[in-house]
Amino acid sequence: MSTSASETTAESVGAPRTIPRPTSESRYFWDACARHELVIQRCTSCGRCWFPPSNHCQYCWSEDFAWTPVSGRGELYTFTVFRRAYASELVEQIPYVVGVVELEEGPRLITNITECETAHVRVGMPVEVVFNDIAEGFTLHAFRPREDPQSPGTGAV
Ligand SMILES: [Zn+2]
């Protein structure tokens, strides 16, 4: 809670991070992240969404789909706290949280949970997407806690 969005972004910028290598299936997703836009694929045959990117619908196998902007909102489905840096580039970031976020639109994404003390991270917490520009022309998505106007008592248990 003591780290602001700008501090988190500033710490990420310029760090020597390993950059994912987009595939033909994922390039559109990463290009959208660079524009600070979260997109997933929606099947034009059955209407369902999926992630990670692939060249066909994982439900009906149709190859007809459209990249669709999503809300960027979801809930934390599960997570773990990394207290050891398995890559030297992450030493400055430990402890950090890797989680699975279930988007309002359904698909689940593996991601980082940022802007939250590790002790306050909990399954089911509302989250929203943020974007961190980690290298020239490359942006990683992450999620931070989100105030949920539908559940003002969230976190009081
Ligand atoms: Zn389908």
Residue 153 resides in a domain: no
Query: Does 157 reside within a domain?
Result: no
How many domains are there within the chain?
1
* CA distances from residue 114 to 22, 30, 67, 128 in whole angstroms, order as listed: 23, 19, 26, 10
Would you state the pLDDT for residue 97?
A: 97
Can you give the residue range of the structural domain that contains 111? 5-13+21-145
How many C-beta atoms lie closer than 10 Å to residue 152's C-beta? 9
Q: Rounded CA gap, 125 and 97, in Å? A: 14
For ligand 1, the distance from its centroid to the CA atom of residue 24, given in whole angstroms, is: 20
155 domain residue, yes or no: no
> Is 154 domain-assigned?
no
Q: Which residues lie at CB < 5 A from ion ligand 1? A: 43, 45-46, 57, 59-60, 62
pTM of the full structure:
0.81
Q: Please state, rounded to an integer, the average pLDDT across all residues of the chain.
A: 87
Ligand 1 centroid–CA 47 distance in Å is 6
Buried b (16+ CB within 10 A) or exposed e, 119-145: eebeeebbbbbbbbbbeeebbbbbbbb
Pairing mode, if any, of strands 96-103 and 39-43?
unpaired
Residue 80 lies in a domain: yes
What is the 13 CA–ligand 1 centroid distance (Å)?
Answer: 38
Spatial separation of the C-alpha atoms in residues 121 and 38, rounded to whole Å: 22
Q: Could you tell me if residue 151 is inside a domain?
A: no
**Does 151 score more than 60 pLDDT?**
no
In whole angstroms, what is the distance from residue 153 CA to residue 157 CA? 8
Q: Each residue of 67-105: pLDDT tens digit?
A: 999 999 999 999 999 999 888 888 888 999 999 999 999
